[in-house]
Homo-oligomer: A and B are copies of this chain.
Amino acid sequence: MPTLTFWYDFASTYSFLAAEAVDDAAAVAGVEVTWRPFLLGPIFAGQGYTTSPFNLYPAKGRHMWRDLARLAARLGYPAIVRPDPFPANGLLAARVATALADTDRPAFSRAVFRAEFVGGADIADRSVMARLLTALCHDAEAVLARAASDEVKASLRAATAAAEQRGIFGAPSFTAADGELFWGSDRLADALAFAQGQRWGLPA
């Protein structure tokens, strides 16, 4: 089965849109998706950003929020809530997602994004994480303990390093088995087609 890796950051607005869409689209395409949470913060810091570019460049930020509202409306989603502060601190959520089994990660990650961008919840809050885990029938305290382990912390740092090593500079991103990189929720369809073997006549 063709494979695709979905790289996402819990503070990222367009990662939310991609998280909603990727599994359904991949099922139709017959592509197996690996969900890989990472931290955009260290990568942004390496680019010299002190916060999200959507904060650093106000016109860009204003467009993003309006664009997100339009896309959410078009897709029939509930109204988007802006996290306060933005970007949210997604470290705890990323550690929890990393601590879960691969098969449990997608549903939990979607729940985090919805809590953040629809419910207005503070995803840095341990009790919010506990609530989401419990709703998905996990043993919340056990998962949170595992999320605080050195092993999980190291695993998340490794994911972030792996993202940077693959040329990832923003989220969401998708990488095919051979490393081909696609940035942005707008590129999901192209990434799935590439994973299926489509090359569009590109020079080799």
Contact = CB atoms under 8 A, between A and B. Distances in A.
Nearest to A60: B169
Given A67-B182, A79-B203, A190 B60 contact: no
A47 B53 CA distance: 11
Contacts of A71: 190
Given A66-B181, A183-B63, A187-B67, A73 B201 contact: yes
A66 B93 CA distance: 32
A145 interface: no
A137 to B, nearest CB: 33
Contacts of A74: 190, 200
- A: contact size bracket: 20 to 34
Contacts of A28: none
Interface string A175-204: 000001111001100100010000111110
Contacts of A70: 190, 194, 200, 202
A60 B183 CA distance: 9
Of A60, A63, A79, A203, chain B has the most CB atoms within 10 Å of the CB of A63
Interface of A: 47, 57, 59-60, 62-63, 66-67, 69-71, 73-74, 76, 79, 167-170, 180-183, 186-187, 190, 194, 199-203
11 contacts: A47-B59, A59-B167, A63-B169, A66-B180, A67-B183, A69-B202, A70-B200, A73-B199, A73-B200, A73-B202, A186-B186
